[in-house]
Structure 1
Amino acid sequence: MNIFHFLSALPLLLGLSSAEPQRVVSRVTVVQQTTIFRIPVRPHAASPLVEWTEQKGPKCVPATEIVAALLSSPNSVDFVLRDRSRVRARIDEDCSALDFYDGFYVQPEDERLCARRDEISSRMGGSCKIEKFRSLVPQFKR
């Protein structure tokens, strides 16, 4: 009998073993692919010729279609899409869109940014949940 066998049997000899089998805790590391989109914020330039009106919007917006964002009010962010259309994201009332003036990040689950599911995260560390989207339609002033 070598020393290893003796040391492994020592708890039994001293009565330190329990009747229950011991559980082994293992650590599992899961590697996932995550896509994070950084969205630049443009200054909101008020145009004297165009007024944007809200209409019913989509539930989700393809994140790959977003090219920029505008801070339109304290609780909303306007997304400018590749086709030059605009979608307004209404954020949680507890958050201020002004925290996102320096750009922000979105990390959608499936490359679609969805209301009531996804958040926008500021570069300072805060995040706000998107409550709903509204489509913006240009109305030309006379």
Structure 2
Amino acid sequence: MERSHLTPPEDRPPAGSEVSEWLPLAPPTQTPAFDQVRIEQRVIIRISPRGNSVRPSAFNGMDIPPPPPRLVERKMGNCIPVNRIVGVEPRGDDRLLLFLSDRTLVTAQLARNCSARDYYAGFYLERTRDGQMCVNRDKIHSRAGSNCSISSLRRLVEVGN
């Protein structure tokens, strides 16, 4: 196959000349532009402190409230669906009491060097793909600026007296 059919006759070098047989590349007329669009979505969930429940303002002598139930901790899974958490209260130095929508109570043990007092105003949690808050995976953020992970979750159940 001859190369002569690739170039027009007027551009062909004369026979026997020392010009290379490679065809020159035309310089680019325009630098290609590469545009990139990056879309990020970040959803932050706020868990509020538990609101004040309805409590009798004064005893009228006849209305004596029943004694509070005795609660004990029981093992549970390592994750809670975030959309079921409706409130939080600090308990002790390193525990949070979580109120779930089905009226379940759960204690969340905070990791070392974390104080439950930092979470008096609730906490923020970044939404995960599975919609769960899990032990040793997710970090909770207080409004005061603290970040902490949860080291264990325990369900509170009522026991008879």
TM-score by length of 2: 0.63
Structure number, greater radius of gyration: 2
Q: How does 1:75-94 map to 2 (within 5 A)?
A: 75-94=94-113
Unaligned ranges ≥5, structure 1: 1-25
Q: Higher helix share goes to which structure? A: 1
Q: Does 1:61 align with 2:80?
A: yes
Aligned residue number for residue 25 of structure 2: none
Q: Does 1:51 align with 2:59?
A: no
Match of 2:26 in 1: none
- Cross-structure match for 1:105: 124
Q: Which residue of 2 aligns with 1:35?
A: 43
Q: Whole-Å Cα distance in 2 between the matches of residues 43 and 98 of structure 1?
A: 17
- 1:87 and 1:108 map into 2 onto residues whose CA distance is 20
- Describe the shift of the 1:86–1:137 C-alpha distance in structure 2 as closer, same or farther (beyond 3 A): same
Q: 2:40 aligns to what SS in structure 1?
A: coil
Q: Percent identity?
A: 32
Q: Structure 2 vs 1, CA of residues 95 and 43 (structure 1 numbering), >3 Å: closer, same or farther?
A: farther
How many residues end up aligned between the 2 structures?
115
Q: CA deviation at 1:109?
A: 1.8
Q: Mind listing any 5+ residue stretches in structure 2 that lack a counterpart?
A: 1-33, 54-65
**Structure 1 stretches of 4+ moved >3 Å:** none
SS of residue in 2 equivalent to 1:78? strand
> What is the CA-CA distance between 1:34 and the residue it aligns to?
2.1
Relative to its length, the structure with more strand (as a share) is 1
1:83-129 CA distance string (max 9 Å, x none): 00011111112110101111211114222100010111011211111
TM-score with structure 1 setting the length: 0.71
Aligned residue for 1:71?
90
Give the CA deviation at 1:52.
2.0
